[in-house]
Structures are given as C-alpha cells and as structure tokens.
Amino acid sequence: MNKQTQKREKRTVRRKRIRSTLAGTATRPRLSIYRSNKTIYAQLIDDDKGATIVSGETGKDIATKAIAKGIKKVVFDRGGFIYTGRVKTFAEEARAAGLEF
C-alpha cells in the first residue's frame, strides 16, 4: 500500500467518525467542505431530505447565499481534513460573513 492510499484511507476513517456525530437539518444544515489542491468546495446540506441547499467555493460566498435563504446557524463538517490552514481560514471567513457554527 502506497502513501497516497494510506492518507486517503485515514481521511475516510476520520470523515466517518465525524459524520457519526453530525447531522444537518432544515433549520441547521451541515456545512460540508472538500479541500482539493487548488480550492475548497463547500455545500450546505439538509440530511433529512438528502438535498444540497447552497454550494460555493469561499466562506464569504457560502455565507451570503445562506443568509439570503434565511439560514444563519450551521453545523461545520470539516470532511476529515485537519482544522488548520485553508480549512481554518474558510471557517473564519464564513463566521465573519455572518454564519454561526
């Protein structure tokens, strides 16, 4: 097993552990992120319906779209990524733009 596969599997384990405790509802959706090499993608998800409410690429973008739909409180799902660097910056941008975690 190579290093890339090990990293992917460890992230999957962390992601499942995080998701076992988090759930998004219509009033408080889950802010799920995915960090690629170039950017961070995010979605607000209602897990009861299994539907994406809002999607975007920056914290400010997500927050403005969510507030326009009447959503201020969310549950932050870091997707198995460590809460540092770009993930932390994304979360701080979303908070500064008006979302509450």
pLDDT tens per residue, range 37-64: 999 999 999 999 999 999 999 999 999 9
Query: What's the pLDDT at 67?
Result: 96
> Is the pLDDT at 75 greater than 90, yes or no?
yes
Query: Residue 96: phi, psi to the nearest 5?
Result: -65, -30
Going from N- to C-terminal start, the domains of the chain cover 3-96
Give me the pLDDT at residue 34, please.
95
If one looks up domain 3-96 in CATH, what number appears? 3.30.420.100
* pTM (predicted TM-score): 0.88
DSSP H stretches of helix in 1-101: 3-19, 59-68, 86-96
Banded model confidence at residue 25, pLDDT cuts 50, 70, 90:
confident
Q: What is the pLDDT of residues 6-23, one digit of tens each?
A: 999 999 999 999 989 888
